Amino acid sequence: MAALALAGCGSSSAGDNSGGSGSGNVDEDALDELLSQEVELPYPTSPTDLGGDRNITYIANGLAAGGNAEVAEARAEIYRKSGWTIEGPLDGQFTPSVQATLVEQAVLKGADGIIVDSIFPSQAPAAFKSARDAGIPIVCTHCQPEESGNDVYMIQPSAESLTEPQIALVLAAVGKDDATIVVVGAEFDSSKAVAESQLRLLEEQCPGCEIADITFPTSDLGQPTSPAFTNLLREYPPGQLDAVITPFAPATTVLLNLAEQAGRDDFKVVNTFGDAPISTQIRDGERAPLLFGDSIISQLFIGYAVIDTLARVFNGEEVPDYSNLPAAPIAQQNAADYVNDDGLWVPEDMESKFFELWGLNN
């Protein structure tokens, strides 16, 4: 990946040169090589038993942001297929105190296990300690940079496994060694960790690039505009910006809308996490050339890995390491290989592989 990124940074093959500085100069060779690489997911190799009914509480960080509720419900449907009793997804409302209360309530109800999305042990230490003291395992998805420990099991891409292919994609997209690139982070710890990795990789792999970073405030989620993006477009007029890396679909959609309203298609937008509707727009060539690509993960693989982890914990078995899941870089050229009609990456035969290990009929 690093070699490809350096190739993208140091060359400037001719591309579509319409628009401003960011709309041409794609390094097609580096891009083609990057997008043709196969991404392998870490399936478990030994069988386990789901062991009858369990009462599981599922708590999401927040459901109001675009795409969050859909992903949470898709995951919940996977959890129900286990045959266990699932309460949730419950709405953590992007508020640590609300999330801690929901964890405490699950403990009081005697849950066998707790699943949390982007709810960090360090932000709700008393609630997580209550679960630990009660012997209730917690599986946390998208809780980077925090690590597994104290009966909390992390299932997620690491900041590095998510951003390494993404930065290679960005540098191939801009195709020059003096590009101007802005990294957008959010106020969540997981997004901050990802943004830090993005900035570090850009500085290492394209030392001649001008790199800047801004924050997309939580208060702007669900809003039609964002002062942070309005200021961004004002600070970098046409011809002075090559790429913007965005943290997730709601932020990306706001930026795309503002840029299109301003008649801007002179730079490229690369999203993070591959969440819908951005993933389907990339696949279908919508909002191009402004919307260029993404770093997509399989949210549904995470769902199956959650059940697999809890089952193995309940059975006292060794748990596979799901804390460094890979991401796939996508652009319009390869997005159809990863994005289904719901905007999700559903690996071939994924369910049957897990069901076989669990002794379930598909």
CA distance 354 to 362: 9
Whether the CB-CB separation of 283 and 336 falls below 8 Å is answered with yes
Please write the tens of the pLDDT for every residue from 224-273: 899 999 999 999 999 999 999 999 998 999 999 999 999 999 999 999 99
Please write the tens of the pLDDT for every residue from 135-176: 999 999 988 776 677 788 999 999 999 999 999 999 999 999
Which residues, in sequence order, are CB contacts of 57 under 8 Å at separation 6+? 87, 88, 90, 102, 105, 106, 109, 111, 113, 114, 115
Q: Report which listed range, 67-71, 94-98, 272-276, 312-316, is most confident.
A: 312-316
Q: Strand pairing partners for 184?
A: 214
Whether the CB-CB separation of 116 and 146 falls below 8 Å is answered with no
Q: Respond yes or no on whether the N-terminal peptide bond of residue 320 is cis (omega within 30° of 0).
A: no
Task: Give the model's pLDDT for residue 66.
Answer: 62
Q: Which stretches of the chain are assigned E, i.e. beta strand? A: 55-60, 85-91, 113-117, 138-141, 152-155, 180-186, 210-216, 243-245, 268-273, 291-296, 328-331
pLDDT at 322 over 50: yes
Q: Strand pairing partners for 154?
A: 140
Residue 319 is given by DSSP the state P
Task: Give the model's pLDDT for residue 51.
Answer: 85
